[in-house]
Amino acid sequence: MPESRTYGRRRSLPAKADNVPAAVTPAGGPPAVVTGRVVAKGGEPTAMAGWDDVDKVASAAGGDMYLKVTENRTVIKMLADGPFDVYASHWIEEIEEGSKSVRCWGTPECPLCAIGDKAKRFSACFDAVSLEDPDYPVMKVWEAGIKIARQLKDIATDSKRGPLDRADLYFTIRKETKKKSVEYTLERVKERDLDEEYGVTPLSDEALAAFVAQRHEYGDKVKETLDTEAMEEIVGLLMEDD
C-alpha cells in the first residue's frame, strides 16, 4: 500500500554531485508484505499464557517487525547467508506526515540523486530469529548499517567462520552510545556455548525449520520504491521557487 505524505517548506539543495553514491538494489518484484513471525517452543499452558502472549505476538507484527538493538546483548540466529534486500535511502525533512525516508532508485535516473540530494543511509536487511526471550523466539527483520554488513560479509565469505546460517552458529548484537555516536558490537557464539554464557537454549530443529520456511527470498523489499509520479512530487517541492 503506497505511503501517504504531506509536505512542508522546501530547503536549499547542494549542487549536483558528479559521484552520487548509488544503492546496491537487487532486482525484484513488487514490495513484499513483511511481518514478524513467531514460533512458540511449546510447554505446559498456564492461566495467564494467553494474556502473556498478547504483548509478545503484538511485538512480532506491524511496526515491530524490525529487530531492536539495545544496550543489552541480544542473541540472534541468522536464517540465510546473506541479506534479502539492500538499499540506500534519502532523508526528506520536508515530509510532514508519513515516512521521511525515501528509498533511492539506485540508478543514475533516481530523481532525487539527479537534483543533488544524496542518499545518506545504507540498509542491509536480514532475516534473523531474536532470542531476547529464549522461551519465545521471534523472527525479525534486522536492518544493519554498512559497518555491521561488512563484518557479516567477512564472516559469510570465510570458510572457517561462515556461512552466517551455519547450524551451530549464533550471534549477539548490542549497541553502545558514546557521546553523540552509536557503536554496534557483533560477536559470534557457538551453539554449545549458548546455555552456559547466555542462558539460552538453542532452537530445536523443528522450530528452526519453521522459521526458515518463512524467510524472505532475495529481492523481496522491506521498503517500497516510489514510482515516478511520487518522486516527481517530492522533487517539485524541493525545487520550487520561494
Instruction: Kindly indicate the confidence band of residue 238, based on its pLDDT and cuts at 50, 70 and 90.
Output: confident
The answer to whether 91 touches 121, Cβ cutoff 8 Å, is yes
The answer to whether 142 touches 125, Cβ cutoff 8 Å, is yes
Mean pLDDT score of the chain, rounded to an integer?
Answer: 80
Least confident interval from 30-34, 152-156, 217-221: 30-34
List, for residues 41-54, the tens digit of each pLDDT value: 444 455 555 555 55
Evaluate if residue 13 carries a pLDDT over 60: no
Domain spans of the chain?
A: 37-234
Q: Which alpha helices (DSSP H) does the chain contain, by range?
A: 49-58, 111-114, 146-156, 194-198, 205-213, 228-239
Q: 543489552: which residue's cell?
A: 72
Q: CA-to-CA distance for 118 and 135, rounded, in angstroms?
A: 43
Least confident interval from 5-19, 134-148, 170-184, 187-201: 5-19
Region for 129 from its dihedrals, namely left if φ exceeds 0, alpha if ψ lies in -120 to 50, beta otherwise: beta
DSSP per-residue codes, 156-193: HT-TTT--TT-TTEEEEEEEEEETTEEEEEEEEEEGGG
What's residue 8's pLDDT?
47
Closest by CA to 22, choosing from 93, 114, 97, is 114
Supply 192's cell numbers.
Answer: 554449545
Q: CA-to-CA distance for 119 and 79, rounded, in angstroms?
A: 28
List, for residues 181-234, the tens digit of each pLDDT value: 889 999 999 999 999 999 999 999 999 999 999 999 999 998 889 999 999 999
Supply 86's cell numbers.
Answer: 539492500
Evaluate if residue 86 carries a pLDDT over 80: yes
The answer to whether 137 touches 128, Cβ cutoff 8 Å, is no
Supply 218's cell numbers.
Answer: 532475495
Q: 538494489: which residue's cell?
A: 25
How many C-alpha atoms does 25 have within 13 Å on its Cβ side?
A: 23
